[in-house]
Amino acid sequence: MNTSARSLTISRRTVLGASAGLVALPFAGLASAQAKGKITVGGWSKPISEITNLLAEPDKGFFKAQGVELGYVPGAGGGDAIRNLLAGQADVAFTDPGSFFTALDKGEKLTAIYDIYPQNVFNVVSLKSANIHKPADLKGKKIGVYSLASGTRQNLLVMLHQAGLKESDVTIVVTGLLNFAPLLQGQVDATAATDTGLVVGQRKGLGEVNVMQVRDHLNVSSDLFVVRQESYQEKKELLRAFLKGYRDSAAWMIANPEEAATLAVKHAIDGTQRDINLEVIRLRNASSLPAAAGAKLGAFDLASLQKAADAYRALGLVQRQIKVADVVDTSLLPA
């Protein structure tokens, strides 16, 4: 592998989340005298620049202001976030709809309470020379994904489904952490990626590419806050306070990307380059905006989420019919 190819290995739900341990990262000293309690978030990643609004808690105190002591358990994908939730390691899972649907399909009693990223961040990238411009052009092609259990594969299948294609119409190649290197080396015709992964890849010399956005075909949410139904019933006021703190932190990062990029240098494990932090944070801010005009942060697009659940069933990724309205609760969203 040449040096250029070796450097193109970063993907949102891969390198930055890989090999994450299960040790909670409490933000020490943040509990106030009027504390309502502690909420530990089970994340899909390590502490990375994308979630600077969470990592900035020691400096900004958004959760402390609501009486919430914040903790964070890192993970290596949305499935890890759900597993840590079910194992009692976390109170809230920061997870993708696919992992949520899969857990529901297995009979887990879960409820989604906040739409973190209503805008879809996944894409399919190909070199200009491949002449891949629309999903139908993927038929018969080799397409890279991080793993068969990753969001890259799941969102690729959603895109194929919207184009009337099945998984059997393409050849899916597990590329592991080397997300863009196999593309440059001709091992795959296209590769499934994310907006932030693509930005970093382009910074590292990926060059001109064709990009198909999953959101142009089905703008399904990228991540949700999910809780166990039992916890929802027992901790409503604490969860309500947590969501208020999160909403305030997200609004801060949207309004102050420059400050967030600086704090990411201090707190994020991948935050050494402030200019890249700023690009990543601006992308994540854009994905945080509600799909519907005038909707507040955290609001769900139930119709889109239902289409996604139906697509997952049509693809065979889940067996049960999932009625999204029964597993989403918006009553805790901040006013």
pLDDT in tens, 17-46: 333 334 455 554 444 446 689 999 999 888
Query: 28 in a domain, yes or no?
Result: no
Is 14 a residue whose pLDDT tops 70?
A: no
Are 205 and 234 in the same domain? no
pLDDT of residue 125: 96
Mean residue pLDDT across the chain = 87
Distance between CA atoms of residues 327 and 229, nearest Å? 9
Q: Range with the lowest mean pLDDT among 80-89, 150-159, 163-172, 185-194?
A: 150-159
Q: What pTM was estimated for this model as a whole?
A: 0.84
Query: 7 in a domain, yes or no?
Result: no
Are 299 and 209 in the same domain? no
Query: 107 in a domain, yes or no?
Result: yes
User: Comparing 127 with 178, which gets the higher pLDDT?
Assistant: 127
Are 78 and 55 in the same domain? yes
Are 111 and 139 in the same domain? no
**pLDDT tens digits, one per residue of 289-320:** 998 888 899 999 999 999 999 988 988 889 99
pLDDT of residue 217: 85
Query: Residue 248: which domain range?
Result: 37-119+221-326
pLDDT of residue 26: 57
Query: 1 in a domain, yes or no?
Result: no
Is 83 a residue whose pLDDT tops 60?
A: yes
Q: What tokens were used for 256? A: 């102050």
CATH number at residue 315: 3.40.190.10
Nearest in space to 23 (alpha carbons), one of 70, 78, 73: 73
Q: How many domains, the chain?
A: 2
pLDDT of residue 203: 81
pLDDT of residue 34: 62
Query: 11 in a domain, yes or no?
Result: no
Are 262 and 317 in the same domain? yes
pLDDT of residue 293: 81
Amino acid at 41: V
User: Which of 216, 237, 260 represents a domain boundary (last residue)?
Assistant: 216
Distance between CA atoms of residues 51 and 319, nearest Å? 32
Are 77 and 209 in the same domain? no
pLDDT of residue 25: 58
pLDDT of residue 154: 82
Are 311 and 225 in the same domain? yes
| Residue 235, number of CB atoms within 10 A of its CB | 20
Distance between CA atoms of residues 102 and 84, nearest Å? 15
Query: 31 in a domain, yes or no?
Result: no
Distance between CA atoms of residues 186 and 147, nearest Å? 19
Are 154 and 243 in the same domain? no
In Å, the largest CA–CA distance within the chain is 62
Residues 331, 227 contacting (CB under 8 angstroms): no
Report the percent of the chain where pLDDT is more than 70. 88
Are 228 and 320 in the same domain? yes
pLDDT band at 9 (very low <50, low <70, confident <90, very high): very low
Are 312 and 229 in the same domain? yes
User: Which of 163, 184, 216 represents a domain boundary (last residue)?
Assistant: 216
Are 67 and 162 in the same domain? no
Query: 172 in a domain, yes or no?
Result: yes
Are 253 and 290 in the same domain? yes
